[in-house]
Amino acid sequence: MGNIVFSACHGFRMDENMTTLKKSDFYFDLPQELIAQDPLEDRSASRLLVLHKDTGVVEHHRFQEITNYLRPGDCLVLNNTKVIPARLLGVKEDTGAAIEVLLLKRRENDVWETLVKPGKKARPGTKIVFGEGALRAEVLEVVEEGNRLIQFSYEGIFEEVLDRLGEMPLPPYITHKLQDKNRYQTVYAKYEGSAAAPTAGLHFTEKLLAEIRAMGVETAFVTLHVGLGTFRPVKAENLSDHHMHSEHYEITEETADLINRTKENGGRVFCVGTTSCRTIESAADENGRVQAGCGDTEIFIYPGYRFKVLDCLITNFHLPESTLVMLVSALAGRENVLAAYREAVEERYRFFSFGDAMLIH
């Protein structure tokens, strides 16, 4: 199936009484010490803040207690993308100057779109060496947003070389070194291609998923490869002026049928993470039926958006003024979300990728 590009307004209907929303409407104060630097030893031992979207009522639980909010006939939608160790530390061949390359997207064969630091040292023709020559690269050209197209050369299998030399591309707010690569990977990660983890899924263990399935809850898998655009700040003050980054997704016939059948039978669709949410909302038609296939989505969900498929959302706590906090505000209401975030700060929840979880119910 050919690629379909969904615009930022795909499936977007604004309520007539919506005033112009600004980036600053989604600001909240967050103490630096609440940003989780390390994952918990037990994935499902994290805390769970439950926000009832219709009333704004907040409850506090442990993540294992998510089962209390699920019932037979519901469906969990999970993103089975796999993070690649996309951060490579090398040196310029001619000067030995240190240089960092972050793999963003494979263009063709061994040509990748990358983010290079420092960019000034990476003009076309620049040659970079990694792992004492186990991997070599040449900058081909500078593309949009200052990214570089790089051609790699190596012996053997690229994925094996990358696994040996690459590091997990942790978000910029995590400064600790990750001891175990698998802790930035969901237990159901399958298809390689992400530069960041779908972090809401990090709370699930195989045991917890087995318990959920035993309750009569279905699990459906989508694939959306998460790009670093997820961490890019919103620069436009008016949200309508913000251009969302594009990400590639795939939905199988089996998954589309399962989600559609859940809705037809009166079950609820729980998306695990904003990436799963963006995927199914992008792939749904105006009648709320999810269509199988692949595409690139730029969907930007913020208050005023009417959800076509999703009923409930399991997510982490997000950065102030980010597109992700705007998405959860579209589901539960901006004032409800900001009040819940203030309570999470007061209760000393752990924030962001390795932090605690939130259920919007």
- The string of pLDDT tens digits covering residues 68-97 is 999 999 999 999 999 999 999 999 999 999
Do 359 and 49 meet the contact criterion of CB atoms below 8 Å apart? yes
Place of tokens 């390359």: 101
Place of tokens 């002026």: 241
Is the bond preceding residue 118 a cis peptide, omega within 30 degrees?
yes
Q: What is the mean pLDDT of the chain?
A: 92
Q: What is the pLDDT of residue 21?
A: 92
Do 200 and 316 meet the contact criterion of CB atoms below 8 Å apart? yes
Contacts of 354 (CB under 8 A, 6+ apart): 36, 37, 38, 39, 40, 174, 199, 202
Say how far apart CA 144 and CA 152 lie, in whole Å.
20
Q: Which two tokens stand for residue 180?
A: 């175990």
Instruction: Answer with the residue of higher pLDDT: 352 or 20.
Output: 352
Phi and psi at residue 54, to the nearest 5°? -80, -25
Do 338 and 44 meet the contact criterion of CB atoms below 8 Å apart? no
Q: Is 236 helix (H, G, I), strand (E, B) or coil?
A: coil
Positive or negative, the Cα torsion across 168, 169, 170, 176? positive
pLDDT tens track for 197-225? 999 999 999 999 999 999 999 999 999 99
